[in-house]
């Protein structure tokens, strides 16, 4: 390419958008759109920044597969030392396939099926984050059959408002997640199930939490209760929810670490974190092509089946052209081809007037809950996923074919 370009994730060089050292426009033309494009450099940097921020706690970092479970990306994280936070048999399969050791896998989820519990015990996962006394009894019943002792954490509902969207707030009393405080204490202190070893508590407050004080409040609430009830903790799982930048700037991860570490460092117990979005969210863009320009609508070839977040809860994703322009702008609505009025990727966005049909746009911050929530709605094919590493790129998931839909 002539001039050497430093390894960064997504940036403009001579008015062209690059992913690391590869021009995004070249990938879009060769592979076709829409497509998901990932930066290996970004994924590694995000994981390392999280690990470094919380290093005084030496935590087990269990990447949350629900954010994005592409096997190639899981292998990258496994090689960095990550464990896995899973919520299904499919995610267990992928975590093990990626080479993540069972002793680094925690199994969460409010509705675990019997066959999922059986397979997880068979594969010797580290622990279950348990959501109810009924689930605990079922795990014990299966553990008796396998003649195995099973580690469990009790997921508590601390009834704390994380100040985020209601769909991703999971620690409030009205949420379906977790066990009520008094019930959790009763279960912990009176556990008589022979094959169950309760190690501690699990708290997951929600996603995109912007204030470190939310974690501080939850931790203090747990520790005060533990002290009052004379409970001996061996494990404390703080879940995830750490924010990334979509529209507005967010506090750096070290701010959260400064609030959390002093409360936990002296406990000398195992600490678990389950970041997903923080690691993968801003490590990807969704590349889409402009099909038509009509009034104030920019109609593109990606839709809500490819990226559901804007339609589902009004999520904001920055939208930029692959070729930067300093010309005049107009305000337009970026919408997809799906037969739904809610099919939009961005409303009232300022875009260059020089945009024309056939040009490409990048939807930023699409790595988390982008491909993983995609569907075949309108019988549309699921997108290819491309991984860039320095000056090379490879397809890590092929574009779906129509034959795949009717298998």
Active site residues: 339
Per DSSP, helices labelled H in 98-204 are 114-122, 133-146, 181-189
In this structure, the number of other CB atoms found within 10 A of the CB of residue 331 comes to: 10
Cα 193 to chain centroid distance, Å, stands at 34
DSSP reduced 3-state for 40: helix
Rg (CA), the chain: 23
Indicate the length of the chain as a whole number. Answer: 407
Q: State both tokens at 260.
A: 């959390």
Q: Which residue has the tokens 């195992």?
A: 270
In this structure, the number of other CB atoms found within 10 A of the CB of residue 373 comes to: 17
Alpha-carbon span 141 to 136, nearest angstrom: 9
Alpha-carbon span 341 to 360, nearest angstrom: 23
Cβ neighbourhood burial of 248 (10 Å; 0-12, 13-18, 19+): exposed
CB within 8 Å of 206: residues ≥ 6 apart: 162, 164, 168, 169, 170, 171, 241
Q: Taking the alpha carbons of 106, 245, 376, 362 in that order, is the dihedral positive or negative?
A: negative
Alpha-carbon span 66 to 87, nearest angstrom: 8
The DSSP H or E segment spanning 404 is helix 402-405
């Amino acid at each position: 390419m002539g001039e050497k370009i430093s390894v960064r994730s997504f940036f403009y060089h001579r008015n062209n958008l690059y992913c690391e050292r590869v021009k995004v426009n070249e990938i879009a033309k060769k592979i076709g759109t829409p497509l998901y494009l990932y930066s290996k450099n970004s994924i590694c940097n995000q994981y390392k920044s999280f690990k470094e921020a919380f290093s005084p706690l030496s935590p087990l970092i269990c990447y949350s597969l629900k954010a994005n479970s592409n096997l190639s990306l899981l292998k990258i994280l496994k090689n960095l030392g990550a464990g896995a936070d899973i919520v299904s048999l499919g995610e267990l399969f992928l975590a093990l396939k990626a080479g993540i050791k069972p002793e680094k896998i925690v199994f969460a989820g409010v509705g675990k099926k019997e066959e999922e519990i059986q397979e997880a015990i068979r594969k010797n996962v580290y622990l279950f984050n348990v959501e109810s006394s009924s689930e605990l009894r079922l795990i014990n019943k299966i553990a008796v059959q396998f003649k195995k002792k099973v580690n469990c954490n009790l997921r508590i509902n601390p009834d704390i408002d994380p100040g985020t969207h209601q769909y991703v707030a999971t620690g409030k009393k009205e949420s379906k997640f977790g066990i009520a405080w008094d019930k959790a204490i009763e279960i912990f202190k009176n556990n008589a199930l022979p094959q169950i070893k309760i190690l501690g508590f699990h708290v997951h407050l929600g996603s995109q939490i912007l204030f470190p004080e939310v974690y501080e409040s939850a931790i203090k609430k747990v520790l005060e209760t533990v002290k009052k009830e004379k409970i001996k903790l061996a494990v404390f799982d703080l879940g995830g929810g750490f924010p990334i930048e979509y529209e507005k700037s967010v506090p750096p991860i070290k701010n959260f670490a400064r609030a959390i570490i002093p409360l936990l460092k002296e406990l000398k117990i195992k600490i678990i974190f389950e970041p997903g979005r923080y690691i993968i969210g801003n490590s990807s863009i969704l590349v889409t092509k402009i099909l038509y320009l009509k009034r104030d609508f920019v109609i593109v070839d990606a839709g809500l089946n490819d990226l559901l977040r804007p339609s589902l809860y009004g999520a904001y994703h920055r939208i930029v052209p692959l070729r930067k322009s300093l010309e005049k702008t107009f305000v337009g609505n970026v919408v997809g081809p799906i037969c739904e009025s809610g099919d939009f990727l961005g409303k009232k966005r300022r875009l260059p007037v020089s945009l024309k049909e056939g040009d490409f746009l990048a939807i930023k911050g699409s790595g988390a809950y982008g491909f993983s929530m995609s569907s075949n709605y309108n019988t549309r094919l699921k997108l290819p996923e491309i991984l860039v590493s320095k000056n090379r790129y490879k397809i890590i998931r092929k574009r779906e074919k129509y034959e795949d839909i009717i298998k």
